[in-house]
């Protein structure tokens, strides 16, 4: 009994040290989390200030100064609003950096699709950037072959335009062979009702189905090369 008590007593300092280390580690984690949260709040406030200053500089056509603000914004580890891509593209365009501007505008359009406030303007800037870079631009036009749907009527690939499929039960014979004690007998195929064929499960006897338009590759639009003198005014 004395031996057990002695062992327990000697073990207490070790347990206390472990507990102390765990406690210190937990405190460290808590303070680290607080610091990270505080840093995020601080970065958000910095971004909001930079963002407003940048918009103001752009409105004053001070694009070089606005570009310096963008450099500072890029160092912040935050999720930025989609419109920032547009303003960055607009700044680069006015600095003559047409390729960078084009990439920024394309990113904005990809983020906003057709819902963005500046999508139409961004597309126009992409055209003028191409004119400055290549002397021509591409414009999207509705594909006449599919009327912009991306799909056209094609021959049914299941029945090869016949409207009917070969019965896979009797293989077109219309009857199924059976063997019993009296020899071989035939009975009418129930699946095709003895015809050897049944209505195509794909086109339902219409002999056609919808397939990808090969003219526009299923996109519904075509890129038409145009001269820059055909470019509408911004």
Instruction: Tokens 């200053």: give the residue.
Output: 53
Does residue 112 share a domain with residue 75? yes
pLDDT at 4 over 80: no
Distance between CA atoms of residues 112 and 200, nearest Å: 42
- Domain identity same for 112 and 200: no
Rounded Cα–Cα distance for residues 61 and 78 (Å) = 26
Do 131 and 175 lie in one domain? The reply is no
Same domain (yes/no): 8, 51: yes
Same-domain check for residues 204 and 101: no
pLDDT mean across residues, the chain: 83
Residues 124 and 205 in one domain: no
Model pLDDT for residues 210-234, shown as the tens digit of each residue? 999 999 999 898 988 888 886 765 4
Let me know whether 23 and 89 are in one domain: yes
| pLDDT tens-digit series, residues 138-158 | 888 899 999 999 999 999 999
Domain around 107: 2-143+220-230
- Return the pLDDT at 106: 94
Res 7: pLDDT: 46
81 and 42 fall within a common domain = yes
pLDDT in tens, 34-56: 444 444 458 888 889 989 999 99
In terms of domains, do 66 and 122 share one?
yes
Distance in angstroms (rounded) separating the CA atoms of residues 85 and 92: 11
What is the domain-level CATH number for residue 195? Answer: 2.10.230
pLDDT score, position 42: 80
Residues 29 and 60 in one domain: yes
Structure tokens at 81: 């609003």
pLDDT tens sequence across 89-138: 999 999 999 999 999 999 999 998 878 889 999 999 999 999 999 999 98
Quote the number of domains for the chain: 2
Cα gap 67→94, rounded to integer Å:
10
Are 129 and 99 contacting, i.e. CB atoms less than 8 angstroms apart? yes
26 compared with 106, residue with greater pLDDT: 106
The whole-angstrom separation of Cα 19 and Cα 24 is 9
The reported pLDDT for the residue numbered 13 is: 54
CATH code for the domain of 53: 1.25.40
Whether residues 57 and 97 fall in one domain? yes
DSSP the chain: -HHHHHHHHHHHHHHHHHHHHHHHHHHHHHHHHHHHHHHHHHHHHHHHHHHHHHHHHHHTT-HHHHHHHHHHHHTS-SPPPTHHHHHHHHHHHHTT-HHHHHHHHHHHHHHHTT--TTHHHHHHHHHHHHHHHHSEEEEEEE-TTTTTSSEEEEE-TTTTTSSEEE-TTTTTSSEEEEEETTEEEEEE-TTTTTSSEEE-TTTTTSSEEEEE-TTTTTSSEEEEEEEGGGPPP-
Are 163 and 110 in the same domain?
no
């Amino acid at each position: 009994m004395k031996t057990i008590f002695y062992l327990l007593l000697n073990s207490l300092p070790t347990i206390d040290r472990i507990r102390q280390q765990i406690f210190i580690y937990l405190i460290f984690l808590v303070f680290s989390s607080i610091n990270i949260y505080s840093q995020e709040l601080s970065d958000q406030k910095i971004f909001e200030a930079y963002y407003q200053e940048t918009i103001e500089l752009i409105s004053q056509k001070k694009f070089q100064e606005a570009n310096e603000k963008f450099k500072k914004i890029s160092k912040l580890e935050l999720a930025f609003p989609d419109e920032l891509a547009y303003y960055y593209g607009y700044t680069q365009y006015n600095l003559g950096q047409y390729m960078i501007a084009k990439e920024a505008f394309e990113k904005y359009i990809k983020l906003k699709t057709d819902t963005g406030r500046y999508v139409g303007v961004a597309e126009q800037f992409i055209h003028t950037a191409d004119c400055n870079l290549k002397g021509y631009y591409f414009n999207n036009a509705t594909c006449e072959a599919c009327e912009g749907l991306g799909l056209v009527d094609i021959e049914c690939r299941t029945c090869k335009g016949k409207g009917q499929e070969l019965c896979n039960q009797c293989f077109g014979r219309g009857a199924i062979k059976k063997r019993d004690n009296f020899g071989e007998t035939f009975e009418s195929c129930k699946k095709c009702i003895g015809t050897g064929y049944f209505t195509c499960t794909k086109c339902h006897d219409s002999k056609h189905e919808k397939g990808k338009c090969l003219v526009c590759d299923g996109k519904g639009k075509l890129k038409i090369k145009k001269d820059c003198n055909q470019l509408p005014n911004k």
